[in-house]
Chain A
Amino acid sequence: MRKTALSDEILLSVEHPERYIGGEINSVQKNKEDIAVRFAMCFPDVYEIGMSHLGIQILYEMFNKRTDVWCERVYSPWLDLDRIMREKHIPLFALESQDPVRCFDFLGITLQYEMCYTNVLQILDLSDIPLKASERDPDAPLGECPIVIGGGPCAYNPEPVAPFFDMFYIGEGERRYDELLELYISVKKQGGTRLDFLEGAAHIEGIYIPSFYKPVYNDDGTYAGREKLDRYAPDRVVKAVCTGLDDAPYPLKPVVPFIKVTQDRVVLEIQRGCIRGCRFCQAGMIYRPVREKSLDTLKGYAKAMVEATGDDEISLSSLSSSDYSKIAELVKWLVETYKDKFINISLPSLRIDHVFLEMMETVQDSKKGSLTFAPEAGSQRMRDVINKGITEEDIMQGSAICFTAGYSKVKLYFMLGLPGETDEDVTAIAHLANGVAMNYFDTVPKEERKGIRVQVTSSTSFFVPKPFTPFQWSAMDTPDEFLRKAHLVNETMENEPNHKSLKYQYHESDLSKLEGVFARGDRRVAEVILTAYGKGCMYDSWTESFDSVKWDEAFRECGLDAGFYTLRERPLDESFPWDFIDIGVTKDFLEKEYLRSKEALITPNCRDKCSGCGAARFGTGICTVPGKVSEGYEA
């Protein structure tokens, strides 16, 4: 029987001990004597969140397919266990073997959102790995201390956490990890050092070694560029792109947690990337070009995964499922195959139109929950600014279809603080919500309302400009301005004729400020993160543990001004710390899009017309459809 790293006493004293015991269905056990590389794959948040992440499951499958690699999982111990581990000096362990992370070859940490950065330090600290890469001996033989490697969307601006990592993997893991693992094995065999491995890895596409560069700043504090500190340091890092998604590794036997986790179902990734080009959306740019998986592949996945997990729900995953060219066919097949097997199909990220409603009718019997629209902005002008490609008419038609079909609850998602937003744009959110409610009364005759009041719930989040988007130059609102706007929405909503049918929710603004600093910060921000962690900051994305006072102190002590990173509209000729990363989409294209946004000009989606973003250089996905890429746009 497996042993647990934690004693009975500890397991009985913490919340959800199942988080820490491993042994879940489809988790992989190997004999460590037969293994060349031990890889600890970490999601720096609590188990239930981390276990819901598809990317780690993909890499887990891919790594463990190799007989010479054993990939295990690591999550952040929750605050209760964190305290005990520090008190009793218990090292952080991986779930499968329950062995300390410190004795692994790699510690891979996925960076899915900026607010996990203090948890990265928690993971390193509890693992007894020096927090800064510079404190890990470059001349030590490989295997002495794990190579700490970061990945995920936040790695596209790695600088705010660069000092904590030995390397970053920029791009899609399926593409280059085998190469990296082979390199590690060969350097280790030859008795090479940590530095030998890092220098070798610098040649692999998508790998960035932060310690090989020293950032330089102008007198005004802006980023000037960087000095190379190592002979093998390349000028640019090109993101790794997976070109044959149908043949790429996929977790056909995903790990099935014992406890209920956030994503508690079979997840079918139907495509990667998005054709839309919304100007606020980082995922829409960094995952270009859009690549679809074939129907046959997805059918095979569904069958295998249902069999291997016993899950009772299948969910489709993509940035915009409606844009998958065979969506109707896929949903029809899923429903027909699984309707008698008590397996539900859930369809997130869908555009609400007639096709969608038809699909919903087949998916759900007669249970009418709520439907969600994401207009993102209240006024048409603002939706054009962000290139949302959705009109008021679309929303009204969509909601009318829902109401006629018997739905009486609608959710609307908006952002506040978008570039160039005026008070008219803000109050338009309330007007739009009111319009949707009014639409109910217009489309559903009184005798059919059955005494049900239509409910339109609007929620706003605060816009945070992200690197590699057309808004990477934009200024962000101050927390006070965010709150003023939120109150303005609320006030306007209360005065709408249908205010009794309207509900409004908004998120906190302090968190957004911090997210803004981390998103477009430079390497100096790392010191602030370190300082805040030293003050006890952790689990910052959790309201109960977020402490804005400590963060303010940390900024002060490090002599950094958060506003420098968030409040400036950056000039077009300013260099960014993330400019060295090549995502295919060019800075020129982003700039063009930024300027078009200022004129509220719409840019067509990839399927309608190629706009020459630069992603065609990868020669895959929609960019290879004949006649799709406009002349002169090929790389």
Chain B
Amino acid sequence: MAPEYVLCRERYLKDMRLRIRFSKHGPVRYIGHLDIQRYFQRLNRRSGLKVVYSEGFSPHQRMSFAMPLSVGCESDAEYFDLEVSEAASSGAVINAMNSHQAEGILVTGCVLLPDNAQNAMASVRAADYTVSFRTGYEPGFDMEAVVAAFNASDSYIILKENKKAAKKKRSFRGSDTEPPAFKELDLKKYVYGLCTKEDNTVFMRVSAGSADNIKPELVIKALYEKAGK
């Protein structure tokens, strides 16, 4: 049971920054990141939260999301920060939001952030993924052994697409100083944990965030390569 935080404007006398955690399961996993943001803007209004808006001609809710989740992925814990001018308690915020949710989306946590807290995006260091295989697409090799071999190796060099470079390449087409579109990377350094489970899924904890973000596809691809597939 998460501790109940008491949140009140009187105590802080200024806007509060909340970090909200939510889960996303079922068909809603096909809702993209931008649409999830729009979804929560509407949800906040439906829930009657006292959200702080930005100044200017087109004021928007002061809300900032952590990492975008790929379309198609389910999640137990996604995060965003939300500024509110008042809120009775974390439980009240959670209840208000969850009574107006679409099926499959649930707020599972809400904490008040200290003033010096980094924003949600900057706070992300790692992400846990569970990869399951669809019927008919199971790996045709001993995954457990390959994972063990990967874990035992000292390094695993892969070529990762350099997105910034790829973007630059598009805008400066034909220039002589094109940055390389791929960079070498030791995947080993960014995989903090990797194991197989009894239900034939693969669990991994990988580096995540604005720098050195490792997508689970990269690891799976590496495992397939290692297995010679």
Contact = CB atoms under 8 A, between A and B. Distances in A.
A and B are interacting partners: yes
Interface in B15-57: 25-28, 30-32, 35, 38-39, 41-46, 53, 57
Given A260-B35, A310-B41, A310-B46, A1 B25 contact: yes
A23 B104 contact: yes
A312 B45 contact: yes
Interface in A1-59: 1-2, 4, 8-9, 11-12, 17-18, 21-25
Contacts of A258: 28, 31, 35, 38-39, 102
A342 B44 CA distance: 13
B72 interface: yes
A483 interface: no
Given A308-B46, A310-B46, A25 B102 contact: yes
A90 to B, nearest CB: 16
Given A18-B32, A18-B35, A258-B39, A4 B27 contact: yes
A309 B46 contact: yes
A1 B23 CA distance: 14
A18 B100 CA distance: 19
Nearest to A29: B103
B72 A23 contact: no
B59 interface: yes
Nearest to A17: B30
A31 to B, nearest CB: 15
Given A256-B42, A258-B39, A2 B72 contact: no
Contacts of A307: 46
Nearest to B57: A367
Contacts of B38: 258, 260
Interface size class of B (residues with CB under 8 A): 20 to 34
B30 A1 contact: no
Nearest to B53: A342
Nearest to A308: B46
Interface in A255-279: 256, 258-260
Contacts, number: 71
A25 B42 contact: yes
B35 A1 contact: no
B102 A24 contact: yes
A21 B28 contact: yes
A11 B26 CA distance: 13
A99 B41 CA distance: 31
A234 to B, nearest CB: 46
B104 A18 contact: no
> Which of A2, A17, A259, A310 has the largest count of B CB atoms less than 10 A from its CB?
A310
A612 B150 CA distance: 87
What's the dominant secondary structure at chain A's contact region?
Answer: loop
Contacts of A311: 42, 45
B219 to A, nearest CB: 19
A594 B128 CA distance: 72
Contacts of B42: 25, 256, 309-312
A12 B46 contact: no
Contacts of A23: 26-28, 102-104
A67 B43 CA distance: 28
Interface string A385-426: 000000000000000000000000000000000000000000
Contacts of A256: 42
Contacts of B27: 1-2, 4, 21-23
A309 B27 CA distance: 20
Nearest to B103: A23
B30 A21 contact: yes
A9 B103 CA distance: 22
A258 B31 CA distance: 7
A357 to B, nearest CB: 19
Interface string A334-367: 0000000010000000000000000000000111
A312 B60 CA distance: 10
A151 B212 CA distance: 56
Contact of A12 (B59, B72, B103, B104): B72
A18 B45 contact: no
Contacts of A8: 72, 134
B220 interface: no
Contacts of A9: 134
B128 to A, nearest CB: 21
Contacts of B41: 310, 312
Given A24-B102, A260-B38, A18 B31 contact: yes
B50 to A, nearest CB: 11
B71 interface: yes
Contacts of A25: 42, 46, 100, 102
Nearest to B48: A307
Nearest to B70: A12
Interface string A288-329: 000000000000000000111111100000000000000000
Nearest to A25: B102
A259 B45 contact: no
B60 to A, nearest CB: 8
Interface string A590-624: 00000000000000000000000000000000000
A11 B39 CA distance: 20
Interface in B128-152: 134
B135 to A, nearest CB: 10
A25 B46 CA distance: 11
A256 B31 CA distance: 13
B59 A342 contact: yes
A629 B72 CA distance: 61
Given A18-B30, A21-B27, A1 B104 contact: yes
Contacts of B43: 310
Given A21-B28, A23-B28, A258-B35, A1 B71 contact: no
Nearest to B36: A258
A23 to B, nearest CB: 5
A342 B55 CA distance: 11
A458 B26 CA distance: 48
B35 to A, nearest CB: 5
The 3 A-B residue pairs whose C-beta atoms are closest, nearest first, are A310-B42, A310-B45, A310-B46
Given A1-B104, A23-B27, A260-B35, 4 more contacts: A11-B72, A18-B30, A258-B39, A310-B45
27 contacts: A1-B25, A1-B104, A2-B103, A8-B134, A12-B72, A17-B30, A18-B31, A18-B32, A23-B103, A25-B42, A25-B100, A25-B102, A258-B35, A258-B39, A309-B46, A310-B41, A310-B42, A310-B46, A311-B42, A312-B41, A312-B42, A312-B45, A342-B53, A342-B59, A365-B57, A366-B57, A367-B57
